Structures are given as C-alpha cells and as structure tokens.
Amino acid sequence: MSAPNGVMMQYFHWYNEPDGTLWNELAQRAPELAQAGITAVWLPPAYKGTAGGYDVGYGVYDLYDLGEFDQKGSVRTKYGTKDEYVAAIQAAKQAGIDVYADVVLNHKLGGDQEEEFNATPFSPDNRSQPIGDRVTIKGWTHFTFPGRQGKYSEMEWHWWHFNAIDYNAYEQGDFDAVYLFEGKLFDHQVDMEKGGFDYLMGCDLDMSHEEVRAELMQWGEWYVDLTDIDGFRFDAVKHVQAGFSQIGYSTYASTPGKDCSRSVSIGLTRLRRCITLLRSPAAMLPCLMPPCITTFLQRAKVAMTMTCAASLTAA
C-alpha cells in the first residue's frame, strides 16, 4: 500500500455468490470505498479455475483465462469477464485505490486429458516416506486449454511439467498417497511440515523445469501489462520452491511502482525457534521467506515490514 496508514480491504470472501458480478460491483463502488478510507483492495484469483464460474480461483485451471474463453462450463469466472476485471481495476485506480492481485502458482487442477506415467507413492503425512514401489499410474495431467486454442501461449502442460499428484485412476479403494513422478524430486526450499510441504493439491508444478519457469515468467509479464495491477498477494508460498520465489516474484514485482506482498503461513512455535536460532529479528526474515524477502525488503514496502514486525511482537 502506498498510502501512509493505508487500509487494505479483502474485496471478496469464499462465499460470494457465484453470479459474476464482483468486478462490476467494485467498479461501481470504488469511489464510495475511497471515500470510506479504503486505500487498497485485495482481489481474488482472477483466472479460470477447475469449477469454472463457481471456482473461488484457487483451483487454478488456466492462468491465461481471465474470463475470456468458454472453458470449464463458462466464459466468465465467478467474478465476471476479463474486460470487466480490467475495467474494475481501472476504476479502483482512478478512485485512488491500489489493487492487489491474488496469484496462485503452486498447482493446477482440471486437466483436460489423462496421461499414464510412473510414480512412487509417498505418505501424505510424511513426504520423505515412500509407502510402496514405483508403479504406473494414470492422472489428469494434460492441459490443452481447448477453449483458448493457443491464444497468448501455445504451451500445453504435461505430466513432466509437474512433480506430484494425489490421484491414480488405476488405484482402487481408499489408498491415500502423494505420488512423486519418476525422475522427479519434491521441490526443495519449501516449508518442512509433513517432511517437506511441496505438495498441497492438484498437479503440483515442478518449479525446477525450465519450461515451467519460462511460462510463468511470460505469464507474469503478460498479466502485469494487461491489468496494470499495483501489487500481488502470493498464495501457497510455503509450498513453492524459494529459489523460484526469488526469481519469479521479484520479476513480477520489478516493474516500477509494483508491490510484492506475500502469503505468510508459519506458526508461532516456528517463529520463536527462528528467533532463538538467529537471535535477530532482522536475520530471521530470510528464515521465514528465504531469498525473496530480502529482495522484497530492498523494495522497501512499509506494509510487509510492519506485518513482520507485528509477528515478531506476537511471538
């Protein structure tokens, strides 16, 4: 937030009616919000999720479909169309309100076709513990985006762009596992909960794969150019390789005037441990958010600095 003592409003919640009106509502009410003292809004993920017009946005299907293509049962997202989204951002900015986008890069859901490949089952509760031999599995890992037909990006996603799923069409019964794909490792530099918390849900992106990194970089540039968004709220940061965070998030935020806020999910016990280990709040920051936070703090945004300070006080 650029305003001193600014107020950011989360301009959505999980149970918003899925009627496609949120973007238009924001556009109409932006002056009223500004008059009430709101200086920034945090908007929900704006791209098409696997549940189409009902998806809150965290079940990411197609990053390039902001409510423009007939995919997953509708053109619009839960909140409206691409044009309405861009117009809402412009209206908010004209009213003096900064707009933050929610960006979910950890996973994808709703693949268009099944693929067969080899994988090793791991315990969902301990990702360092295999619970069976490598087997041939089948999952929804091929994303073709048939409604978009290559516009903006021609990349189709295949199983090799991911490193894990928690579904196997060949597995009958209630066998519960996270399947690590053959030739892959779980991404490192993630939260150590569950023995390494790379995998959260759906098809987990392999952040080590060059095509994945390149596609996400390209998407970030496209998205910033299209929306003129002011900043970001990154989802599921603790499940994403910090090395990617350093490159990706700082790239997204490197456009002059852009901000890079983060999703911080860490318990007080771990906070205290970090403080004990490092004996310095300043030194603790890289512990929380390894490389990116440094980049972020160099960009000197007060909001995040204050958030960290508040967490330290609480601990």
Nearer to Ca ion, 207 or 260 (CB): 207
Q: How far is the CB of 57 from Ca ion (least distance, A)?
A: 17
Nearer to Ca ion, 107 or 301 (CB): 107
Nearer to Ca ion, 1 or 190 (CB): 190
- Token digits of residue 134: 């490598």
Q: How far is the CB of 241 from Ca ion (least distance, A)?
A: 7
Q: How far is the CB of 200 from Ca ion (least distance, A)?
A: 6
Contact 95, 156 (CB under 8 A): no
| Cα angle, residue 58 at apex, residues 270 and 60 outer, rounded to 5° | 125
Residue ranges that bind Ca ion, judged by CB under 5 A: 106, 163, 187, 198, 204, 239
d(CA 290, CA 10): 26
d(CA 3, CA 124): 43
Angle between helices 268-278 and 302-314 (to 10 degrees): 90
Q: How far is the CB of 189 from Ca ion (least distance, A)?
A: 11
Nearer to Ca ion, 65 or 204 (CB): 204
- Token digits of residue 159: 């199983």
Contact 285, 297 (CB under 8 A): yes
Nearer to Ca ion, 71 or 120 (CB): 120
Nearer to Ca ion, 29 or 209 (CB): 209
303: left (phi over 0), alpha (psi -120 to 50) or beta: alpha
SS3 of 133-169: the string is: CCEEEEEEEEECCCCCCCCCCCCCECHHHEEEECCCC
Q: How far is the CB of 285 from Ca ion (least distance, A)?
A: 22
- Residue of 29, 16, 166 lying closest to 97 (CA atoms): 29
Q: How far is the CB of 248 from Ca ion (least distance, A)?
A: 13
